[in-house]
Amino acid sequence: MSEKSLFCTGAGGFIGRYVLSHYLEKEDCDLYLLEHGGFRERLETFLNQQVSDPARRKRVKVLSGDISQAGLGLEAAVADDLKQRVTHAIHLAALYNLSAPRDISVRINVDGTRHVLDFLEEIRSLQRFAHASTIAVAGKHTGTFREDDLDLGQGFKNNYDETKFLSEKLVRARRDSIPTVILRPTTVVGHSRTGAIEKIDGPYYALNMIARNMHRAVPNTGDIKFHFGPVDFIADAFYHLFEDHESVGKVFHLVDPDPLTYLEFFDLACATMGKPKPALKLPAPLMRPMGRMPMFEKLTGVPREAFEHSFYRVEYDMTHSRPALAKHGVSCPPVPSYIEAMIDYYARHSDDPSIRKGDWRQVTT
C-alpha cells in the first residue's frame, strides 16, 4: 500500500485514459477509479491491456458508482474505506455533448460535481483536488477571457457550456475547504502522433464539410481563432500541473498559445485532403441563419450548436499556464505538425461505429 492514493472519476473517458497512463507508468500510488455503465467495462479492458504486472494491477481498483447520486452511488463500506485512504482526487467525469437535454446535463455535470465535492469534504487526508473544467465556461463572452475570470455575465451557446460554468462555480465556492486546481482544456482532438480519436467534434465537423464538398462557401470569420489541441498535450499538461503543489488555488487554460483562425484551418485542411479551398467567404450575418435550417446538419455534417462557435471572437489568457507549463517542459504542438495524422485517422475511421457522432445517450448509459 502506498502513502499516495488517487481517487478519480471519468478515468475511462478519452482524456481520462491518457491522464491515467501517467499514473500507471510513473507513479507509485494506489488508484481508485469510479466509473459508471459501459465505461467501467471499457476501463477494465484498458487496464488489463496496459498493466502487465499483476502486483501493480491489484493496486488499481475500478469502482462501480454514479456521480449523479448522493454518495456517488458507492456502497457504504467502500465509501468509508476511501475516506480513510484518499490523498489526491481528480474529477473528470462529465457529459460532453452540445445537444444533450438540459436536465440530463444538469444532473451529470452540476449535481454530479456537487456530489463529488460533498464526498471530498469528508476526506481529512485530502492534499489536492483537480477539477476538469473547460474553456467553454466563457460562453458567449467576446474579447479576452482570463484564467481568473468566470462569471462575467455571459450567456451560453448550449447546455454543456452553461452546466460546466455552473459546476466550476460550485468548485470555486469550496476552495477554502478543498485544496483545488482548476484546469480548463480547449476542444480536444486526436493524439498528435497517431491521430486517434473517439468522437467527431470541433474541427472534425469542418472535415465533414470538406469531405462532402460542402465547404465551397464558408462564413468570413476573419481573424477569429479556432481553439483546439491534441489529447496528448492536454493530458500531459493536466498531469504536470495537478502534481505541482504550486498549482493549488489557481486556474489554468490548457490551450494552443498560437491557434489558427477558422479560415486558416480550412485552407490547411483542404490542402492536406487534396480539396480545393473555399471559393466564397460570405458575410457571417448571411451564413449564420443557414446553420439553423433543418437540412443544414444533414447536408454538411455540422450540428447547429457547433456551427455557432465560429462566430465568437475570444482569446484565452495564459498568465498562469504559460510559465507553469514551461517549467515542466510541456508545450502544445502547432497544428501543421499534426494535421496529417489528424486527417488520416479521421479518413480511415470516421465511419467506425466506435467513433461517437453526437448521440448523448452513448455516454450516459
Q: Does a structural domain hold residue 97?
A: yes
Share of the chain above pLDDT 70, in %: 97
* Residue 320 maps to a domain: no
Domain range spanning residue 154?
Answer: 5-188+228-256
Checking if the pLDDT of 346 tops 50, the result is yes
Q: For residue 207, tell me if it sits in a domain.
A: yes
Distances (CA, A) of 24 to 19, 57, 91, 240: 9, 9, 18, 14
Asked whether the beta carbons of 307 and 296 are under 8 A apart, the reply is yes
Question: What band does 37 get if pLDDT is binned at 50, 70 and 90?
Answer: confident
> By the 8 A CB rule, do 34 and 254 touch?
no
Query: Same domain, yes or no, for 208 and 222?
Result: yes
**How many domains, in total, are found in the chain?**
2
Task: Kindly state the average pLDDT of the residues 298-319.
Answer: 85
Residue 304 lies in a domain: yes
What pLDDT does residue 145 have? 98
**At 16, which CATH number?**
3.40.50.720
Give the model confidence (pLDDT) of 125-183 as tens digits. Answer: 999 999 999 999 999 999 999 999 999 999 999 999 999 999 999 999 999 999 999 99
Q: Which residues contact 232 (CB under 8 A, 6 or more apart)?
A: 18, 191, 192, 193
For residue 321, being part of any structural domain is answered with no
Domain co-membership, 34 together with 152 = yes
Q: Which three cell numbers stand for residue 165?
A: 460554468
pLDDT score at 364: 40
At 356, the pLDDT band (50, 70, 90 cuts) reads low
Q: What amino acid is encoded at 323 in this protein?
A: P
- Residues 86, 208 within the same domain: no
Ordered DSSP codes for 13-64: SHHHHHHHHHHHHH---EEEEEE-THHHHHHHHHHHHH---HHHHHTEEEEE
Residue 191 has pLDDT above 80, yes or no: yes
The answer to the question of residue 322 being in a domain is: no
In DSSP notation, 272-311 reads HHT-PPPSEEEEHHHHGGGGGSTTHHHHHS--HHHHGGGG
What CA–CA distances, in Å, run from 324 to 123, 135, 246?
28, 18, 9
Indicate the helix (H) or strand (E) that contains 35.
strand 30-35
Based on the fold, state whether residues 151 and 127 are members of the same structural domain.
yes
Alpha carbons 131 and 92: distance in angstroms, whole number: 7
CB 208 within 8 A of CB 200: yes
> Do 62 and 158 share a structural domain?
yes
Examine residue 263 and state whether it is found in any structural domain, yes or no: yes
75 and 17, same structural domain?
Answer: yes
Mean predicted lDDT score pLDDT of the chain:
92
- Residue pLDDT, tens place only, 213-239: 999 989 899 999 999 999 999 999 999
Q: Is 260 helix (H, G, I), strand (E, B) or coil?
A: coil
**Same domain? 27 vs 173:** yes
Listed in sequence order, the residues at least 6 apart from 34 whose beta carbon sits closer than 8 Å to its beta carbon are 7, 8, 9, 10, 11, 63, 65, 67, 72, 74, 93
Q: Tens digits of per-residue pLDDT, 106-118?
A: 999 999 999 999 9
Same domain, 37 and 81: yes
Cell 505538425, residue located: 337
The string of pLDDT tens digits covering residues 234-249 is 999 999 999 999 999 9
Neighbours of 311 (CB within 10 A): 18
For residues 155 and 202, state if they share a domain: no
DSSP per position, 5-17 = EEEEESTTSHHHH
* Confidence bin at 299 (pLDDT 50/70/90): confident
Q: Evaluate if residue 201 carries a pLDDT over 80.
A: yes
Same domain, 138 and 174: yes
Asked, for residue 318, whether it belongs to a domain, the answer is no
pLDDT above 80: residue 307: no
Same domain, 213 and 162: no
Closest-CA residue to 186 (of 133, 137, 134): 134
pLDDT for the residue numbered 1 = 54
Q: Answer yes or no: do 87 and 136 share one domain.
A: yes
How many helices and strands (H and E) does the chain possess? 15, 13
pLDDT of residue 302: 83
Does the pLDDT value for residue 360 go beyond 50?
Answer: no
How much is the pLDDT for 306? 77
Q: Is the pLDDT of residue 202 over 50?
A: yes
CA atoms within 13 A on the CB side of 95: 33
CA distance 95 to 261: 27
